[in-house]
Structure 1
Amino acid sequence: MITRAISAWVTVLVLCHLFLATVEAGSTSGGSNVLLIISDDGGLDGDAYAQATSCPAPNLDALAQNGLQFTNAFASVSSCSPSRSTILTGLPNHQNGMYGLHQGYHHFESFDRVRSLPLLLGDHGIRTGIIGKKHVGPEPVYPFDFAYTEENNSIMQVGRNITRIKNLVKQFFTEGHNDTRPFFLYVAFHDPHRCGHTHPEYGQFCEKFGNGEPNMGTIHDWKPVKFDPNRVKVPYFVQDTEAARRDIAARCTTVSRLDQGVALVLEELRRAGHEDNTLVIYSSDNGVPFPGGRTNVYEPGVFEPFILSSPFHPESKGQKSSSLTSLLDITPTVLDWFNLTYPDYYILKKGETAKLTGRSLLPHLKTAHPNNLRSLQSEIGLGNEDEFSKLNRADDVDAVFASHTLHEVTMYYPMRSVRTRRFKLIHNLNYGMAFPIDQDLYISPTFQDILNRTRSGAPLPWYKTLLQYYNRPEWELFDLELDRQELYNVAHKSTYSRVFKSLQARLKSWQNDTYDPWICAPHSVLQDSGAYAHNHQCMPLYDIPTH
């Protein structure tokens, strides 16, 4: 009798737990929502990360304290449009088709059959909105119910004017006041992207835009914070010179606008009554726009801030996760939050099913997830707690991948990489060419300073020479435990030969799983149709001299 009573009690507890987990995880019937905030060329700013690249960001620090902070998060590509496409599809750029920038003569777009996050959510009755920088296409692949972007507004207004952004967020909530559907709102700041090449009148980072000075206009909700160039933090990948310090100081002022803008968005979320039923995700599209940063797959180009804040997981607040995390995880995380499964479909060829290689991050929040049934069983004496611990460890991936093809249309320098906790392997496919420099970085004070000092022979307190930066070998392998700055390539060191071959195999396997057209490059040609349709082959070019 006692045994039966305990068994019945346990069953009731387990069923209750499953019911609550389903509701709290954010089923569409439960009305939970998602707010995704992405900065533009953002860095590891604020005390939350305490990096040498950081500018003060007290509101981002507060968000980190109110959520789970991932300390090993990485972009899967180091370029604006391609990265945004991966965020909104969960597919690497070589799979979704957004190989480079979307706007102007670059004109890259995702494939027509790609099922993006806003498309999938809209199909399941979830209201979608975007404010700020969209930078992806075509429209049928990335549709939003509510859209104020560079496609129908000034990007300066919807991406940098934080008062305008605040009002648009308020408008989104006001228009949806009587709408019972859950929502997905994507706020994509244009800060702290450089603007010296497009709007030099506002400074290198548009740090003067809206600051109240003559001809600069006024952003009423922004209290500009100015920084002394002599006191800013200079990261290892930027030369320590006056020109670079001034550049960094300008960026930090723009970060202050982003930081205050994030606070305004979160305040509108609270005022609309959605603070207690909305998952908030904060990250950036790629690394900072300095040498070694954006367009590189070195650490400064792909290391990203990542914060996950859930009202249903109070125990996660202020916590940190060292799990290797990718921006490819955002789509599966959002789908999981809404209890949606990724559809079974193909993009280009029947039989080549599109599959997500990222994974949901909700398990890291500890509660409101079916896996926690095992935790509950352990607490009440059922199951094996050691097995549950092993399950949690297995959920923690041990590698993240990157695929970079182009930035601007002229910048053909495809790279593929795999990063584990200790090692990073980079495959530079176009290694015979000098590494290309994008337009806005080229005219920046930091890069012009490097050029001028190199040309004149003046001292250059930088971690590389300009020629070393331009000229890269086909394979680069770094032992990050011993070499955080990625200065010593050990790809051909005999002591690392097993690691080198193992990572090459892992990278090739990921490229195969994601149908990478560059899988055979640069020394072979991919044959995957006709006689090779069911037996893809890399046919050698015999372009490597043999001795």
Structure 2
Amino acid sequence: MSVNSQDTRRENRPNVVLLTAHDLGQHLGCYGIETVKTPNIDALASEGLRFENAYSTSPVCSPARGSLLTGRYPQSNGLMGLTHAPWWWEIDDSEAMLPEILAEHGYETHLSGLQHVASDPERMGFQHTHSRELDAEETTAAASELFRNATDDQPFYAQVGFFEVHRDFDQGTHSENGVYVPPYLEETDEIRDDFAAFQASVNYFDDRVGDVLRALESAGLREETIVILAADHGIPHPGAKWTCRRPGIEIALLMDGPGPVFSGRNRVDEVISSVDVLPTLLDVLDVPISGRIEGHSFRQFLAGETESPPREAAFAQFTEHMKRDNESRCIITRENHLIRYFDQGRTVKYPVGTDPQAFADHVERMSTEREPRPFAQLYDVREDPYELENLGASSKHKQLVTDLSQRLLRWMVSVDDPLLEGRVRHPYYEQAVDDLLTSSTDPE
């Protein structure tokens, strides 16, 4: 689809609905998890595009979402960690986000529910905020009312953000079709019970997505709307969220809409990063893409206009949070995943049996071996997707580690990664030092 951004005629400008999920990873039926019930999301995947190898730029919420909405990496947009206390990271004032960009090109911009990027939605470019609560049914109702009241003379951008499937899980349990426990976790009673509760939360999230899609259909808007569903990062379990391991950065990414971009194929196996969503969408809408954008547009590739995808590898960063893992950077391709660590720690031997809720509550940590964690860990994505065997120390893979390390370093230089100049100075550290100096000054 090629849409003239200067043409205000409603019929030539599709609406955009962005559905965001917390901690979802790829734990959905359309991604092969048979123990959950996600018919609404699965139907969306079957109607449009399902990206099999989609990766976030961070395994924690705020920086992952910041990249999705700016098309820029956390080191570039300044949002390298969580926005809320006691982390206090903030996105740079100079950053333009998707709602703001679309508003400048004639879209009416709406937020319903969670965004977790900035304290003020207006800073992000939202003209209308319908609900800031974390209640999924309120979020769904607000989005449905938005669709009913949509006018014919102006397209809209609606971001519908759900707190689900973040802990604490409060939708009971679901084990009707069994309980799926990823191989990097042991199948203890605590872990199985936790996943039964997680599955129920996933099912509930799917119900709410179904409500949104049905409301869009009832308003007569579905055929003229681009719908994107994106998770922020991996699932909320040890060995996934809070780590640059593949289970921590893999995300569900679905797109559907009018035009050849969304109809040429169903499954997309090529690697795509969350920073690519914004430029791809802008390209589809024929909205100019700023030279500051670090992501790549997949429009031509998806429309069949070119045979080669715009990227072969994705990159991610983890700026240490809550001591759950060590500071790290990574590069991942369809074949291999290299993680490099920059903070002291010991090797975690997977699978682990750590109670997921106790881990999330800081009561329990993953057990480690006595030897130091190696600076680099290498995994074969195709043969070992759950990353149980580190190949980084093998002489057979020495050249591969070197090649991937070179590519990773080039990326770190390109985003001006502060880690190359020393330890990252966290906002808490900055405020703590400022408080020390202020408190140490004798009153006049």
TM-score (norm 2): 0.85
Secondary structure, in 3 states, of the residue corresponding to 1:109?
coil
2:397 maps to which residue? 496
Q: Structure 2: any 5+ residue segments left out of the alignment?
A: 349-353, 425-444
Give the structure with higher Rg (CA): 1
Range moving further from structure 2, 307-316 or 256-265: 307-316
* Secondary structure class of the residue paired with 2:254: strand
The whole-number CA distance in structure 1 between the counterparts of 2:193 and 2:42 is: 24
**Who is 1:401 aligned against?**
315
* Cα drift, residue 51 of structure 1: 4.0
Residue 71 (1) aligns with residue 44 (2): no
Asked if the contact 2:59–2:241 (Cα under 8 Å) also holds between the matched residues in 1, the reply is: yes
- Residue 431 of structure 1 aligns with which residue? 344
Partner of 2:16: 34
Distance in 1 separating the partners of 2:375 and 2:315: 17
The answer as to 2:158 corresponding to 1:185 is yes
1:22 aligns with 2:2: yes
Aligned AA for 1:310? G
Question: Is contact 1:417–1:426 with CA below 8 Å preserved after alignment?
Answer: yes
Please name the residue that 1:487 is paired with: 388
* From 202, 208, 222, the counterpart of 1:261: 208
Matched position secondary structure for 1:323: strand
The TM-score, its normalising length taken from structure 1, stands at: 0.70
Contact 1:75 1:402 (8 Å CA) reproduced: yes
Q: Is it true that 1:284 corresponds to 2:284 in the alignment?
A: no
Looking at structure 1, the residues matched to 279 and 261 of structure 2 have their Cα atoms a distance apart, in angstroms, of 22
| Deviation larger for 238-247 or 474-483 | 474-483
- Over aligned residue pairs, what C-alpha RMSD do you find? 3.1
Cα distance in structure 2, aligned partners of 1:31 and 1:470: 58
Contact 2:25 2:248 in 1 (8 A): no
Name the CA distance, whole Å, in 2 between partners of 1:275 and 1:316.
Answer: 15
Q: Is the 8 A contact 2:3 2:285 kept in 1?
A: no
- AA of the residue aligned to 1:44: Q
Matches of 1:315 and 1:188, distance apart in 2: 23
C-alpha offsets along residues 433-454 of structure 1, whole Å, 9 cap, x if unaligned? 799xxxxx98715779995xx9
CA distance in 2, matches of 1:62, 1:24: 30
Instruction: Please give the residue correspondences for 1:59-458 in structure 2 after superposition, counting only pairs within 5 Å.
Output: 59-137=40-118, 139=120, 141-150=123-132, 154-155=133-134, 157=135, 160=136, 162=137, 164-177=138-151, 180-195=153-168, 205-208=169-172, 226-228=173-175, 231-313=178-260, 316=263, 319-344=266-291, 355-366=292-303, 371=305, 391-393=306-308, 395-408=309-322, 413-432=326-345, 444=357, 451=364
Contact 2:60 2:241 in 1 (8 A): yes
Q: Distance in 2 between matches of 1:229 and 1:449?
A: 30
Give the Å deviation of 1:27.
7.0
Q: Equivalents in 1 of 2:279, 2:233: separation in Å? A: 19
Aligned AA (2:170): C
**Separation (CA, whole Å) in 2 of partners of 1:470 and 1:244:** 27
* 8 Å contact kept, 2:264–2:303: no
Kept in 1, the 8 Å contact 2:346–2:370? The answer is no
Alignment of 1:460-539 (within 5 A): 466-468=367-369, 472-521=373-422
- Residue pair 2:100, 2:125 contacting (<8 A) in 1 also: yes
The 1:366/1:343 distance shift into structure 2, 3 A limit, reads closer
Aligned equivalent of 2:429: none
Alignment check: 8 A CA contact 2:255 2:262 kept: no
Supply the distance in 1 between the matched residues of 2:86 and 2:371 (Cα, whole angstroms): 25
Q: Is the 8 A contact 1:477 1:489 kept in 2?
A: yes
